[in-house]
Amino acid sequence: MKKLYTFSAESVPEALIKAKAVIGESDPVIESIKEIRKKTLSQSALCEVVLSVELPDEEAREREEEDDVYVALSKAAREISEITKAANLPDRVLPKAKAPAKPSPIAEHAELSAIQKEINKLTDRVKLIQNMMWEKTNEKKIASIPPEFAEIYRVSRQSGMTSEHLDSIISLTLENMPLTMRQESATVRRYFNTLLRKMVPVRIESRLERPKKKVQMLVGPTGVGKTTTLAKLAARFAHKLSEHYKVGIMTLDTYRIGAVEQLTFYAKMMRIGIETVRDPIDFSSALSSLRHCDIVLIDTAGCSQHDKEKIGRIGQFLKAEKETSIDVALVLASNSKLEDLRDIYKNYSPLGIDTVIATKLDETASLGSMFSFVYENKKPLSYLSIGQEVPDDLLPAESDYFISCMLSGFRKEREIA
């Protein structure tokens, strides 16, 4: 049986080369050679060579079968290509090629969070380098902590917190935080915030159950905001809280020129009674004249922590009154250095300090010294003064707010970090 092959090319030798590539070593017979198209300026010539090869019987049968398959396949291919070329045909006519499987939303989410994690890790590395540059001298120490901790370490150090406190919190975190949680600085930061909040002692403002009374004395260094805070507290108890209390004011500050006038001005504005007391001997009777009040607030003269005589004089007032329990609040400016806070506390502690009122939060970016101070002395914060406005710039102490200001900077609005 004979099989015919047709090859076309620009020239007869080229057509024969093509034929050899297909037919191989078989002995073909040239059946015909035709020039189908003449060469012109715009197109090349085209020749057609028809060859025949004699096939053995068995091979001829197989080849027929193969040819059938070949014809069937190429027919299908042609049909497909024809159909696909006809772009205006509706989709359903097109044979559906199997589209790559679309990832499920869950798989997509997992992939995205994996990418996000990698980005976070890289960001942490960058932060580590930045932080190392920030603290060149401490390079060794900061390099020894995991990169995810570097940022929070730097922020806390800059807040003025003592390095002993910071180091112990870091090692506590490293010991207790599950490894999976440690991999990202954002998680570390959240964990750290929670830990720090728990470390700030706070005295929650409690509701006063009548006929119980509250007598509160404010003491502290000069100019920290005792009188202003007292006026804010008076307004809070007398007018701002949902329950209005009867408030009385007393001042023991008869030294400073204008001190009595300053407080009398606030008292008049709020229509609150005021008592001025010069000597410890008059203290009890002044208290007694304010006995109709639910809350009595006592202002004192500001004195340097080194002026033991003046502090001692405040002590004499306290000793003179045996009946009434007096709550003593040490008013401290948040912009003070930790060494000064320690020194002030040491010299004021003979008065029996119950709570700390931190003022001027708005004037410092280093709340860490106040943090370390209350933490090491276990003295609860009762109020936070956040500006000069009477009565608005006063908040009952809240550890969340305090830590947020310490780590993310001061903000008047209470926003949890």
* Nearest alpha-carbon partner for 249 in 218, 270, 265, 272: 272
363 touches which of ligand GTP, Mg ion, none (CB within 5 to 8 A by kind)? ligand GTP
Which tokens sit at 83?
């159909």
Taking the complex as a whole, the smallest distance from the CB of residue 294 to ligand GTP amounts, in Å, to 23
The residue within the footprint of ligand GTP, chosen from 157, 214, 360, 379 (CB under 6 A), is: 360
Under a CB-based contact definition with an 8 Å cutoff, are residues 48 and 36 in contact?
yes
Beta bridge partners of 209: none
Under a CB-based contact definition with an 8 Å cutoff, are residues 329 and 357 in contact?
yes
Residue among 47 and 328 whose Cβ is closer to Mg ion:
328
Residue among 70 and 255 whose Cβ is closer to Mg ion:
255
Please name the amino acid found at residue 125.
R
Enumerate residues 282-301 that contact ligand GTP by CB under 6 A. none
- Residue 400 CA to residue 194 CA, distance in Å, equals 8
The residue within the footprint of ligand GTP, chosen from 159, 185, 251, 359 (CB under 6 A), is: 359
Q: Does 363 bind ligand GTP (CB under 6 A)?
A: yes
Enumerate residues 132-171 that contact Mg ion by CB under 5 A. none
Beta bridge partners of 53: 3
Residue among 56 and 223 whose Cβ is closer to ligand GTP:
223
Q: Does 156 bind ligand GTP (CB under 6 A)?
A: no
DSSP code per residue over 309-322: HHHHHHHHHHHH--
DSSP conformational letter for 194: H
- Alpha helices (H) in 100-239, listed in sequence order: 105-134, 139-143, 147-158, 163-176, 185-199, 226-235
The residue within the footprint of ligand GTP, chosen from 75, 78, 256, 337 (CB under 6 A), is: 256
Taking the complex as a whole, the smallest distance from the CB of residue 249 to Mg ion amounts, in Å, to 12
Candidates 33-41, 108-116, 277-285, 357-365; binding stretch for ligand GTP (CB under 6 A) = 357-365
Under a CB-based contact definition with an 8 Å cutoff, are residues 303 and 221 in contact?
yes
Q: Does 302 bind ligand GTP (CB under 6 A)?
A: yes
228 touches which of ligand GTP, Mg ion, none (CB within 5 to 8 A by kind)? ligand GTP
Candidates 50-58, 62-70, 107-115, 380-388; binding stretch for ligand GTP (CB under 6 A) = 380-388
Q: Does 385 bind ligand GTP (CB under 6 A)?
A: yes
Q: Does 385 bind Mg ion (CB under 5 A)?
A: no
**200-239 mask for ligand GTP (x: CB under 6 A)?**
----------------------xxxxxxx-----------
Task: Tally the residues of the chain.
Answer: 417
Residue among 254 and 285 whose Cβ is closer to ligand GTP:
254
Enumerate residues 69-128 that contact ligand GTP by CB under 6 A. none
Q: Does 227 bind Mg ion (CB under 5 A)?
A: yes
DSSP code per residue over 2-41: EEEEEEEESSHHHHHHHHHHHHTTS--EEEEEEEEE---S
- Using CA atoms, how far residue 373 sits from 141, 161, 210, 341, in Å, is 24, 9, 34, 7
Residue among 151 and 253 whose Cβ is closer to ligand GTP:
253
Q: Does 404 bind Mg ion (CB under 5 A)?
A: no
* Nearest alpha-carbon partner for 199 in 169, 227, 225: 169
Q: Does 364 bind ligand GTP (CB under 6 A)?
A: no
291 touches which of ligand GTP, Mg ion, none (CB within 5 to 8 A by kind)? none
Taking the complex as a whole, the smallest distance from the CB of residue 102 to ligand GTP amounts, in Å, to 59
Which tokens sit at 410?
């001061």
- Using CA atoms, how far residue 158 sits from 153, 186, 226, in Å, is 9, 18, 28
Taking the complex as a whole, the smallest distance from the CB of residue 390 to ligand GTP amounts, in Å, to 8
**First and final CA of the chain: distance in angstroms?**
90
Candidates 3-11, 49-57, 234-242, 379-387; binding stretch for ligand GTP (CB under 6 A) = 379-387
* Nearest alpha-carbon partner for 12 in 48, 52, 53: 48
Q: How far is CA 374 from the centre of its chain?
A: 25
* Nearest alpha-carbon partner for 247 in 277, 217, 205, 213: 213
Under a CB-based contact definition with an 8 Å cutoff, are residues 201 and 355 in contact?
no
Residue among 248 and 387 whose Cβ is closer to ligand GTP:
387
Q: Does 382 bind ligand GTP (CB under 6 A)?
A: no
Taking the complex as a whole, the smallest distance from the CB of residue 227 to Mg ion amounts, in Å, to 3
Enumerate residues 177-216 that contact Mg ion by CB under 5 A. none
Please name the amino acid found at residue 121.
K
> Interface residues with ligand GTP (CB under 6 A)?
222-228, 253, 256, 259, 302, 359-360, 362-363, 385-388, 393
